[in-house]
Amino acid sequence: MANFFRRVTRHLKEGFWGVIRHGSMSISSISAVTITLLIIGVFLIFSINVDNITKDIEESVAIVAIVSFDYEEQTELDRIETSAKAISGVNDVIFSSKDQEWEYYQNLYETEETAAIFGPFQDVNPMHHAFQIEIENGDKIEEIATGIEAIDGIDSVEYGGASAVMLVSALNSIRYGGFVLVMAVSALAIFLIANTIKLTIYARHKEIGIMRNVGATNGYIRSPFVIEGMIIGFIGAIIPVTLCVFGYIYVYDLLGGVFLTEMFVMIPPHPFVLLLVAILSGTGILVGLVGSFFSVTKYLRWKR
């Protein structure tokens, strides 16, 4: 145990010293991490927000199916409900009686005057029974609406219409495009960082050979390099994390929490920024770790 502790302390010390002693190389690696994490951070903020907005809008895109006056018996209603539930892409079917609909409708415009206007007609309910159809996602809204309209006893269906569908599909494309982009940028970034680390370690391949000469095992040689890589990744993440967190909070306040229109609600900074901190610093540290691990391993093989 004392031995293990001694060894860990040594590696940590070596790792920290390594960053300082190889100052210019450390700075170039740190810069690579900083730049790429900044890019990743911006794309990440953008695509997570788009993802969230898309989900919000999708959820609000529901279908209302109006039941014909001729099919108001309970058996018919049950049959319609079962048929609707059987359609693929339908999450849930909620019955809303004509009384509920009428009440909802009146409440929609509830003021002193409307109450006065509707008052006398309280008993002549003009509303139909209705079903609210919740769907899995906006992609298939048109298809599902057609399917429901075809059920015997449905008078008509109402939903956000073609524009809502188009918006959802547009957002979906942006969302998927965004994620592909984040992945591509991340891959590129990781490649860039790993390559920089490889170059800085190449400059020290002699050092690695000498360590083996004096009896250091591969694991022993690797550890300080890996710790060095992690420190570089961490330091490199400081600026991107700070900029992304405070930048996001600033932009959020500036735009009042919505992007362009009231429909595009931004994710509230708390606790979203914590996720950003975790992802960005985690990526930095992980890439530093993996990059240096593989680079050292490569040069270890060079020399017997």
Partner 1 sequence: MLELKKLSKTYKNGVKALNGINLTISQGEFVYIIGSTGSGKSTLIKIIDGEEVPTSGRCEVIGINVGKLKHSKVPIYRRNIGVVFQDFRLLEAKTVFENIAFALEVINAPKSLIRKRVREVMNLVGLDDKGHSFPNQLSGGQQQRVAIARALANRPMLLIADEPTGNLDPEMSNDIMTLLEKINREEQTTILMVTHDRELVNRHLKRTITLDSGHIKSDVLGGGY
Q: Which residues bind partner 1 (CB under 8 A)?
A: 3, 6-7, 10, 21-22, 206-207, 209-218, 220, 301, 303-304
Closest to partner 1 by CB, 139 vs 207, is 207
How many residues does the structure list for the chain?
A: 304
Closest to partner 1 by CB, 3 vs 74, is 3
Q: What's the count of helices (H) and strands (E) in the chain, helices before strands?
A: 10, 4
Q: What b/e sequence results for 69-86 when a residue is b if at least 16 CB atoms lie within 10 Å of its CB, and e otherwise?
A: eebeeeebbeebbebbee
CB 201, min distance to partner 1, A? 13
**Integer Cα distance of 106 and 112 in angstroms:** 11
Structure tokens belonging to residue 118: 């509707």
Nearest to 276 by CA among 102, 82, 37, 59: 37
Compute how many other C-beta atoms are within 10 angstroms of the C-beta atom of residue 49.
20
CB 16, min distance to partner 1, A? 13
CB 222, min distance to partner 1, A? 11
Q: Angle at which helices 2-21 and 23-60 pack, to 10 degrees?
A: 100
Closest to partner 1 by CB, 17 vs 109, is 17
**Integer Cα distance of 59 and 144 in angstroms:** 15
CB 211, min distance to partner 1, A? 7
Closest to partner 1 by CB, 7 vs 85, is 7
Closest to partner 1 by CB, 216 vs 239, is 216
CB 196, min distance to partner 1, A? 19
Sheet holding 154-158, edge to edge: 90-96, 130-135, 63-67, 154-158
CB 209, min distance to partner 1, A? 8
Closest to partner 1 by CB, 22 vs 175, is 22
Beta-carbon contacts of residue 251 (< 8 Å; ≥ 6 apart): none
Closest to partner 1 by CB, 196 vs 223, is 223
CB 208, min distance to partner 1, A? 10
**Integer Cα distance of 149 and 76 in angstroms:** 15
Nearest to 67 by CA among 97, 100, 99, 107: 97
